[in-house]
Amino acid sequence: MRSPLIFEPRKYRDSGVDDHFSTFRVVVEQSDLYVKALAPLEKETERLLRDCRAQIENAIANRPEFLTSLDPIEEDPADAPVAAGMILAGKKAGTGPMAAVAGAVAEFVGRALLEFSAEVIIENGGDIFVMVSRPIVVGLCAGDSALSGRVGIKVGPTPIPVGICTSSGTVGPSRSFGRADAAMVVSRDVALADAVATALGNRVERPSDLKAAVEWAHAVPGVDGALALLGERLAVLGQIELVPTDEDGPEG
């Protein structure tokens, strides 16, 4: 069976020199991770990515609705930890488990890499796992919006890992039923951030939807901050600090 974990070239990734991090890319079939760590950990990252993909693909093989459902599904005692986390995130966000897939992969690999590196950044299709000792700026990629590439959010230092996940109805491979140029969610549960970002984006059809959609996302237990952007209109709530992306340079 062809894997449902989608590959698409990540044209927005930064290519600048960073003396603090070792920066590398790991691709396994359709999964494409962009990693910053304190050491070159390509082999470890590939091993973890293959393990994570196997957990998700086994869940799909055991019950196809894990892949196809757009609504929450019930847990199965046989589910591996990554699959179980995706199901729980979907329940909280009101989505199917695959709405959390990119964030779940980034989190699984990122947390395991902390055994080898005290700082780790993993970007997986716009969904980012972050554990850093100094502030970074995560740039906002928002298609044709005038704010795309001009603003970002400042993150860190992070005493515990945090997830920053972005969905869009106009950029990238994300499936969205809305028109948001960007729907961003911050949470210490990266899978949850991914699922809620998807649901947030689905709620934005017109600028007048932005405020209510962001209020809904921020009210989900476990969400620390939410942002939605459509054209030149933006709504933001919670623990999100907006800054110009040229302050420290975008990381994602």
Question: Looking at the whole model, is its pTM more than 0.85?
Answer: yes
Q: What pLDDT is stored for residue 1 in this prediction? A: 29
Neighbours of 128 (CB within 10 A): 29
| pLDDT interval class at 249 (50, 70, 90) | very low
More confident residue, 142 or 105: 105
Give the Cα-Cα-Cα angle 35, 156, 197 (nearest 5 degrees): 70
Q: Could you tell me the two tokens for 228?
A: 């939605």
User: Do 70 and 100 meet the contact criterion of CB atoms below 8 Å apart?
Assistant: no
Q: What pLDDT is stored for residue 235 in this prediction? A: 95
More confident residue, 219 or 170: 219
Instruction: Please determine, for residue 246, whether its predicted confidence score (pLDDT) is greater than 90.
Output: no
Q: What pLDDT is stored for residue 46 in this prediction? A: 98
The model's pLDDT over 184-202, given as tens digits with 9 standing for 90+, comes to: 999 999 999 999 999 999 9
Residue 21 CA to residue 38 CA, distance in Å, equals 5
Give the β-pairing of 233-238 and 151-155: unpaired
Q: Which amino acid is at 54?
A: A
CATH of 22-244, one of 3.90.226.10, 3.40.50.720, 3.10.520.10, 3.40.50.300: 3.10.520.10
Query: Any idea which residue has 């927005």 for tokens?
Result: 12
Instruction: Please determine, for residue 10, whether its predicted confidence score (pLDDT) is greater than 70.
Output: no
Instruction: Please determine, for residue 108, whether its predicted confidence score (pLDDT) is greater than 60.
Output: yes
**For range 233-247, the mean pLDDT:** 87
Percent of residues, the chain, with pLDDT higher than 70: 83
The model's pLDDT over 146-177, given as tens digits with 9 standing for 90+, comes to: 565 677 899 989 999 999 999 985 454 455 55
Percent of residues, the chain, with pLDDT higher than 90: 72
Sign of the alpha-carbon dihedral angle for 236, 178, 123, 85: positive
Q: Could you tell me the two tokens for 144?
A: 């044709």
Closest-CA residue to 48 (of 109, 7, 107, 99): 109
Tell me which DSSP letter residue 104 carries.
Answer: H
Q: What pLDDT is stored for residue 14 in this prediction? A: 56
More confident residue, 172 or 54: 54
Q: What pLDDT is stored for residue 147 in this prediction? A: 62
| pLDDT interval class at 81 (50, 70, 90) | very high
Domain segments of the chain as ranges:
22-244
